[in-house]
A = this chain, B = another copy of it.
Amino acid sequence: MSRGEHQSKKLKHLGAALESGALAQVRRILNNDLQAADVAHLLESSPPKERNLLWGLIDDENEGEVLQNLSDELQSWVMNRMSVQEVANAMTDLDTDDIADLLQNLPNKITQEVLTSMDSQDRARIEVALSYPEDSAGGLMNTDTITVRPDITLEVVLRYLRRHRSLPDMTDNLLVVNRRDEFIGLLAINKILVSDTETTVREVMNTDIITINANMDDTGVARLFERHDLISAPVVDEHNGQLLGRITIDDVVDVIREDADHSLMSMAGLDEDEDTFATAFKSSRRRAVWLGINLLTAFLASAVIGLFEATIEQVVALAVLMPIVASMGGVAGSQTLTLIIRGQAVGHIDASNVRWLLSREFLVGIINGALWAVVVATATYIWFWDIKISLIIGAAIIINLVVAVMAGAFLPIWLKRLNIDPALAGSVLLTTITDVVGFFAFLGLAAGLYF
């Protein structure tokens, strides 16, 4: 039986124990049988009441590890239930970058208190990590590096390592620095194993290395890791070349997951960190904002329709058909929007190719506009036996589809230049445009032709 199956068996036991109220058993499974990451996942997947109960059953010494594995949202939730001393204790065994992440989810005052309760060496290291934004390379990096000098032999390196007894997690390379602590290369662990022990570090180290500036944003870091299949990479001060720390793939995987979730969730006005099991009240409040913004755009669309009340009164078929024009524009636009937002996220789109992209979208708008104009016009004719309405809706479909794909392409590019999140603002702006243009084109053409 594999470990994975073991885990899922234990989880089933836990579920049964929870239901039967056998809390001692639940406590044992939580603290002895499951790994911290599994406990964290269990908390993320539990409704509030069970979550409260489970958290209360976790032993103090395990709280830190579990905490570290939770999403930001849940970290805040949990830490609001802990005293300053408990938070400080929970953090003792964690990596500096993880502690800094946790602290960034606390109110400033509490962060200060937690820092004060730590010993001065830990505090100094964490204050360095806190001095970088959470979403920068500096915020991602760890300072637990093993450094060696270039002129020693591998024999000496091996003796030095044996004195360590254990290496930091994800150590695939030792970092080679000169006397001024400037980074000069990487010594792969695997190289140490397969090389003659008399060789010097300089002879086997790799100097053709991707280094990362502490100020690089985390999405850029993730792209470098993805593209070059890295496990860890050194972070270097861009001014003096000194080694500051290293970033490891486990933290980068979290960035990739969050970045990818971000586009999906933002397009529905949700946060990528949204708690799946937030209470009804909290969920409602969060989503209400988005519904409110949408209501404004909906009223704007209604106002456009209102301009043509007289026309609709004469030809009710217009009211029946008008949602088709708006809806086709909405779908065509959101396809382009999604494509461009994804392209931006993976770094495909820049100044050199944006013009080609815009003209391609224009063509797509024309082609699909013409195609569906014919289909819709035909269907409309069969339905209403009115050639005028049929021609009007066909023309409106072409206009709205071309406008929609152009808006879907331009919006994320403009928004990004203005430093506004395209995934969040793009879909609302796009719907406004496709609704307003759709209704205006259709009803406006009708008003012009009928009067």
Residues of B within 8 A of A165 (CB): 194
Please indicate the chain B residues that have their CB under 8 angstroms from the CB of A216 in the complex. Answer: 4
Quick check: which of A53-61, A105-113, A359-367 contacts chain B, the rest being far away?
A: A359-367
Check A342/B231 contact, CB under 8 A, given A288-B368, A320-B305: no
A315 shortest CB reach to chain B, Å: 10
B210 touches A276 (CB 8 A): no
List the 6 shortest-distance A-B pairs measured between CB atoms, nearest first. Answer: A260-B260, A280-B363, A319-B319, A268-B338, A229-B250, A284-B367
CB interface residues, A 318-344, toward B, < 8 Å: 319-324, 326-328, 331-332, 334-335, 337-343
The contact size tier of chain A is 35 or more
User: A211 on the interface (CB 8 Å rule)?
Assistant: yes
* Min CB gap A191→B, angstroms: 8
A236: min CB distance to chain B, Å: 7
Alpha-carbon distance A161/B190, docked complex (angstroms):
9
State whether the Cβ of A94 lies closer than 8 Å to any Cβ in chain B. Answer: no
Known: A228-B35, A364-B280. A298 touches B316 (CB 8 A): no
Contact A323 B435 (CB under 8 A): yes
Q: Does A420 contact B (CB under 8 A)?
A: no
The reply to whether the CB of A265 lies closer than 8 angstroms to some CB of chain B is: yes
B170/A193 in contact, CB under 8 A: no
Task: Show 19 residue pairs from A and B whose CB-CB distance is below 8 angstroms, ordered by the A residue.
Answer: A3-B211, A4-B211, A4-B213, A4-B216, A35-B228, A37-B228, A158-B193, A162-B195, A171-B190, A253-B256, A256-B260, A260-B260, A264-B341, A268-B338, A270-B339, A276-B342, A284-B364, A298-B328, A299-B324
Complex partner residue of A210 from B4, B226, B295, CB under 8 angstroms: B4
Residue A101 interfacial (CB < 8 Å): no
Q: Is A192 an interface residue, CB under 8 A from the partner? A: yes
In this assembly, does A309 line the interface, its C-beta being within 8 Å of a C-beta of chain B?
yes
- Report chain B residues within 8 Å CB of A231: 170, 172, 231, 249
- Among A24-32, A82-90, A347-355, A411-419, the stretch in contact with B: A347-355
Q: A209 to chain B: closest CB distance in Å? A: 6
Q: Name, among A3, A256, A435, the residue most crowded by chain B CB atoms within 10 Å (CB to CB).
A: A3
Across the interface, do A291 and B332 meet the contact criterion of CB distance under 8 Å? yes
User: Are B338 and A3 in touch, CB under 8 angstroms?
Assistant: no
A45 interfacial contact with B, CB 8 Å = yes
- In the complex, the answer to whether A194 meets B213 with C-beta atoms within 8 Å is no
Across the interface, do A193 and B270 meet the contact criterion of CB distance under 8 Å?
A: no
Contact of A161 among B193, B270, B276, B350 (CB under 8 A): B193
Q: Which of B220, B337, B353 contacts A277 (CB 8 A)?
A: B353
Decide: B264 and A267 in contact? CB cutoff 8 A.
yes
